[in-house]
Amino acid sequence: MMRQYELVERVQKYDPKANEALLNRAYVYAMKAHGHQKRASGDPYFSHPLEVAAILTDLKLDDATVATALLHDVIEDTDATRAEIDQLFGPEIGALVDGLTKIKRLDLVSKQTEQAENFRKLLIAISTDIRVLLVKLADRLHNMRTLEHMKPGSRQRISEETLDIYAPLAGRMGMQAIRDELEDHAFRWLHPEAYKAVTDKLAELRAKNEGLVEEIEGALKAKLVEAGIDASVSGREKKPYSIWRKMTNKQISLEQLSDIYAFRLTAKDIADCYRALGVAHTTWRAVPGRFKDYISTPKQNNYQSIHTTVVGPRHQRVELQIRTHLMHQVAEYGVAAHALYKDMTKGAIAAGSMTSLDDKEHGPYVWLRRMVETLLEGSNPEEFLEHTKLELFQDQVFCFTPKGRLIALPRGATPLDFAYAVHTDVGNAAVGAYVNGRHVPIDTRLRNGDEVEIRTSKGHVPPAAWESLCVTGRAQSAIRRAAREAVRRQYVELGRRLASAAFDAARVTYSDDAVKRVLSKFSQKSIDELLAAVARGELPAGDVLKAVAPEAVQAAAQSVLENPLKGWLDLTKVSGLRVRAPAPGAPTGQLSSAIALRGLKDDVPVIFEEGGAVPGDRIVGVLEPGAGIRIFQIHSPQLQAYEHQRWIDMSWDIDPEKQERFPARLSVTAPNRPGALAAIADVIGGAEGNIDNLKMIRRASDFTELRIEVEVFDLAHLNRIIAGLRQTDIVSKVERVFE
């Protein structure tokens, strides 16, 4: 176990100004607090926080973070309190230890809803201070290194959590070395057979290709020396999990996977990086489609490097990564290197070892900050978890706005994802896209280097179905939110019209201000919520009228005594009720003013009942709380199943510019002869009708009764189809049915 002075020396080696007294106090306090506690391996428990601290010294982190690592379990596992930590080590370290304590209590592999909510808490905690994540990753890394001492069930849970959450987080934060080790440990325990197969095969290839890595290293170094380029070269074999994931994704065997060796060329400045690239490409044949320049277009976590693949010595595919020494530090330590390179960046740019980066666009916390913003806007934790995991795993493509702004997106992103990445308002108003000057469908997959222009339209609302066209959680959440808001506005408007109808029947002028004054009587926070409740059928419009103008309801009730029939009709109008037997000559269920129906897509959700209804039909609606309005043709027998009090008189409000189709059902009787069905379909198609469904209801030896569901524009269109069927010799009977 590392001694106290050894830990201090490790920190002072890279930070001579480190607070030695702080580190000594934290070491002694944690050792005493954990006392005689043991780990599952039998080792003293204090060995764990000490190893976590050692991992963080490898990352060259500040003394406060190292002290936090020593103390990160004391609140959870000992008698120590947050107040005591604040008093002895200051509120900064107290807050870090408290954040880690809260994370430790989260179960990230549980029921989906609980897991999603816990993941939200995790990201909020680490976004407050990124050092919480750094300590947590080091903590998880040491736990994975000693996982063999845990029970099988715990190994499974911890490995799943590591592979799903912590390894991708490490990758997004640019900490590739930690990500690789976490993934390989988790792979070993989650898929032991696959792990053994891959490692055995790698050992076999290693023996077969003995000396290959050294040969390639030597060849690269020799070519660089010839060109006068001062650069170091190192080769490595790819990690088992990385190889297995590529085999799984591409559905290929290990023998087919040719680029299992990667070499890193580290140069002194950017100019030498591109010169080294030229040497590699002129010496060996480059593999098409395997070149990526992350120096000119860095990843969101500040990763910079040139990637290429060449066919090198022994006809072996070799992946090359070319970068400067400073880029290598960022690539290895990611966000942990931020403090290291922050003060050096200005000089590094001047020296040509870094490109200029705008912190607002490329800072190492940008991805994390955007993710937290997205989760705070969302309302469904399961959806958030799903979209977040997708973003954690996906690679990136880099696209540009017409003004040259760089937008990084997950691979497979569409112009719609691009629009929402620019701004939520741009995404909501998007109606078309141009990629590289060419008009394309809005679900086109974007590629690296595409220039994307989004065309917008004021007042446009993204259809809910557009969610399936996106791959980013930001876009999907925004579309879902816009759809919810559109439905809410539609319910509010319908509720206002229902309330206005009840007020008009009582000869009372409706106004929002009058309704606002009675909100407290209905326990509603706003007039919009009250009107939406009316539209959903949760609150009768008559109750709102009674609260605003009770005298109007009383007057209607008094008229019942004076003139029973007329008074009862007046009362039902005021209360929003309907009666089975209205005044002589009046249509069943009629109100003084009907509610207009705007069609299938632009208003409150509607459901057409069995048999359907088409413009021109007299229709009645029934409110279904939470679902919308169920539409019935006035003669539909299904309508009788609902109490008349729930009926709403409806009228059609169809935009003549839109050619929308509506459902209707026909009963057709035809003789059993070849070509009969084709003739019927020909008549319907010739009249521009659309057959949505067809069923044989009754089949005799000579005749068959068919039930045909058609989609038509209006009642006149339907009647033309019926007339056309009746004129054919093949049809003996046709009629419209509602059951």
Is 319 an annotated catalytic residue? no
Question: What one-letter code names the amino acid at 299?
Answer: K
Specify burial of residue 646 (Cβ count, 10 A radius: 0-12, 13-18, 19+).
middle
CA 257 to chain centre: 32
Catalytic residue among 58, 77, 84, 453: 77
Of residues 318, 336, 298, the one with CA closest to residue 61: 336
Instruction: Report d(CA 315, CA 269) in Å as an integer.
Output: 30
- Mapped onto helix, strand or coil, the DSSP state of residue 257 is coil
- Mapped onto helix, strand or coil, the DSSP state of residue 510 is coil
- Mapped onto helix, strand or coil, the DSSP state of residue 612 is strand
Catalytic residue among 15, 43, 62, 76: 76
In this structure, what token pair is assigned to residue 629? 């309005």
First to last CA, the chain: 81
Instruction: Report d(CA 612, CA 606) in Å as an integer.
Output: 11
Of residues 370, 384, 381, 382, the one with CA closest to residue 477: 384
Instruction: Report d(CA 434, CA 6) in Å as an integer.
Output: 61
Is 114 an annotated catalytic residue? no
- Mapped onto helix, strand or coil, the DSSP state of residue 699 is strand
In this structure, what token pair is assigned to residue 370? 């955007």
Specify burial of residue 587 (Cβ count, 10 A radius: 0-12, 13-18, 19+).
exposed
From residue 184, how far is each of 116, 144, 181 by CA, in Å? Answer: 25, 10, 5
Of all helices (H) and strands (E), which one includes residue 321? strand 317-324
- Mapped onto helix, strand or coil, the DSSP state of residue 597 is strand
Instruction: Report d(CA 391, CA 453) in Å as an integer.
Output: 23
Paired with 621 in beta bridges are 631, 648
List the alpha helices (DSSP H) in 563-642. 564-575
In this structure, what token pair is assigned to residue 702? 């000579």
Task: Please identify which residue in the block is written with the tokens 């506005």.
Answer: 489
- Mapped onto helix, strand or coil, the DSSP state of residue 238 is coil
Instruction: Report d(CA 83, CA 69) in Å as an integer.
Output: 18
> What is the set of active-site residues?
76-77
